[in-house]
Structure 1
């Protein structure tokens, strides 16, 4: 299977002051748009993450909503270039700003929003409020006073069950699995067995340094194995290009997390100051990847704190 850009005739024309958003076809009826390997900014309109959609008989499933309402409207335009079918669901893989600020545009289409109940920890929190406030300052006019964090219409796992949820659009089956806590407490993955495609959200970063933040990196490594248990032919990550060799390509995320845990874990056990531990650690394998300079030190520090807690 070969992943490829759709012909130019099927792409949305780039409007003034908007980013280019070509579609990539991952399988029959399965598409995604790929954000830049960059930090969010007004210049890139916060187009730094991926979002995908699947055309089924009777409707469309969308996975994630991009980082602004304007981007989500561009995504909807792309969908409409291929099919007039209604957008039935959008599955929110996790509540990070670059994946959720477009949700209101999809809700305006009558789409039902689906997320895991653990996302309640973020929705309405002070963290969410401050993040939105900062985004309105840093990403204006793409994020402004009209942008709001949206609650889902369907809460998965609200009863404490961790069983897979199966959604149907026509005859197409979508298996939604809670794979967190990992990158976030609420991580969801979406498997489309009939198309051989799995949408991994930010459990998988390709060709760039992952953003670790306050993630549970030990569980994140386990979650990668849960992705592979589906034996997908194609994995669409939250950031970066799709993988047609998941077993090999998921290795970068796993190896990076394990390297953080090994190096920072040793430092924490030996009560070595973080600055000294960071300076002596060999980052050579990862140092040339995009966003290394922007996020690696923060990733290492947060992992150092995590390993201190795990060691108690």
Structure 2
């Protein structure tokens, strides 16, 4: 079986949400709200689009979570602009009137954090990996300029960089009343500030961009570290996992198979090319290209992934 055949088959299996049906609740989308689905009692997920940010989608390209306790609510990632963040906040209000106590960011990328400002009026704690503040602050100017160019003035309006007020170093538990959220930092993988979140009441595990499905993975940390994290996470006993990009919910360990294969293919190809004395330019034209038809947005991100992998593995 070729790499491409493997990935097509794996994606066909893992892109289906869950083998067990998702609960029936779905908040109907409206111009003022994003659609969310209840994947477990009190756990809601909005599924982002498989697109680059644009004026039309307003930065709605990632998944976001809402967890409702008896006392309070946590929002997990806030999407890619103030405007779509407002629509996410309206979705929260459509399912509960409990206070939004926490906004949790799984990592620093704009499609997950640029909606934070829409929640300022709730005065939540903004919670993230303790490394996120440094990483986001150092890239803020570039992120803002790039997103203004891609979103356009109207969709960009209201965006601001909001750094965490509660840093997580290793682990932390957050009480929502009747359920707690366990937050765990990860070794450098997708980024150097990845964070995963487990809901104690349902076992739902939010993986952020440590898990991509359908949307090609994007490497901004360490390909070696990411493959190691995947090996660890595949051993978790979670009834459902929420990817950063992909279906509302998926099942372990199969959810990781296409991503693991893609990253392993890049690593193997790049190592081989380095051993043969090939250049970075040569690597970006060949490494991992057998996987091209298996992923959306491949042409937008793949060369960047190979470039990052080459820079890391050249000194491996």
| TM-score by shorter chain over 0.5 | yes
Question: In the alignment, what sits opposite 2:195?
Answer: 188
Question: In the alignment, what sits opposite 1:44?
Answer: 57
Question: In the alignment, what sits opposite 2:28?
Answer: 11
- Answering whether residue 241 of structure 2 is matched by residue 262 of structure 1, we say no
Whether the 8 Å contact between 2:44 and 2:65 is mirrored in structure 1 is: yes
Question: In the alignment, what sits opposite 2:174?
Answer: 167
Q: How many pairs does the alignment contain? A: 296
Question: In the alignment, what sits opposite 1:143?
Answer: 156
Aligned CA-pair RMSD: 1.8
Question: In the alignment, what sits opposite 2:183?
Answer: 176
Residues of 1 paired with 2:294 and 2:259: CA distance? 15
SS in 2 for 1:245: coil
Whether the 8 Å contact between 2:102 and 2:126 is mirrored in structure 1 is: yes
Candidates 168, 171, 182, aligned match of 1:156: 168
Residues of 1 paired with 2:182 and 2:80: CA distance? 25
- Answering whether residue 93 of structure 2 is matched by residue 80 of structure 1, we say yes
Structure 2: 5+ residue stretches without partners: 1-19
SS in 1 for 2:66: strand
Shift of 1:4: 5.9
Residues of 2 paired with 1:282 and 1:186: CA distance? 26
Whether the 8 Å contact between 2:236 and 2:252 is mirrored in structure 1 is: no
Question: In the alignment, what sits opposite 1:132?
Answer: 144
Please list every run of at least 4 consecutive aligned residues from structure 1 whose deviation after the TM superposition is greater than 6 angstroms.
Answer: none
Whether the 8 Å contact between 2:39 and 2:249 is mirrored in structure 1 is: no
Candidates 279, 284, 303, aligned match of 1:273: 279
Residues of 2 paired with 1:300 and 1:135: CA distance? 23
Question: In the alignment, what sits opposite 2:315?
Answer: 309
Residues of 1 paired with 2:162 and 2:126: CA distance? 9
Candidates 208, 216, 220, aligned match of 2:215: 208
- Answering whether residue 103 of structure 2 is matched by residue 90 of structure 1, we say yes
Residues of 2 paired with 1:106 and 1:228: CA distance? 33
Check 1:5–1:308 CA distance in 2 against 1; reply closer, same or farther (3 A cut): farther
Question: In the alignment, what sits opposite 2:5?
Answer: none
Check 1:271–1:41 CA distance in 2 against 1; reply closer, same or farther (3 A cut): same
Higher helix share: 2
Check 1:301–1:287 CA distance in 2 against 1; reply closer, same or farther (3 A cut): farther
SS in 1 for 2:122: coil
Residues of 2 paired with 1:222 and 1:267: CA distance? 22
C-alpha offsets along residues 57-115 of structure 1, whole Å, 9 cap, x if unaligned? 11111101110111111111111111111111111100101111111111221211001
Whether the 8 Å contact between 1:69 and 1:103 is mirrored in structure 2 is: yes
Higher relative contact order (CA 8 A, sep 6+): 2
Whether the 8 Å contact between 2:47 and 2:62 is mirrored in structure 1 is: yes
C-alpha offsets along residues 226-280 of structure 1, whole Å, 9 cap, x if unaligned? 3334311111011111343220111111111111111011111222123434444
Shift of 1:133: 1.9
Shift of 1:12: 3.8
Residues of 2 paired with 1:129 and 1:282: CA distance? 32
TM-score, normalising length: structure 1: 0.89
Structure 1: 5+ residue stretches without partners: none
Residues of 2 paired with 1:278 and 1:124: CA distance? 30
Whether the 8 Å contact between 1:53 and 1:61 is mirrored in structure 2 is: yes
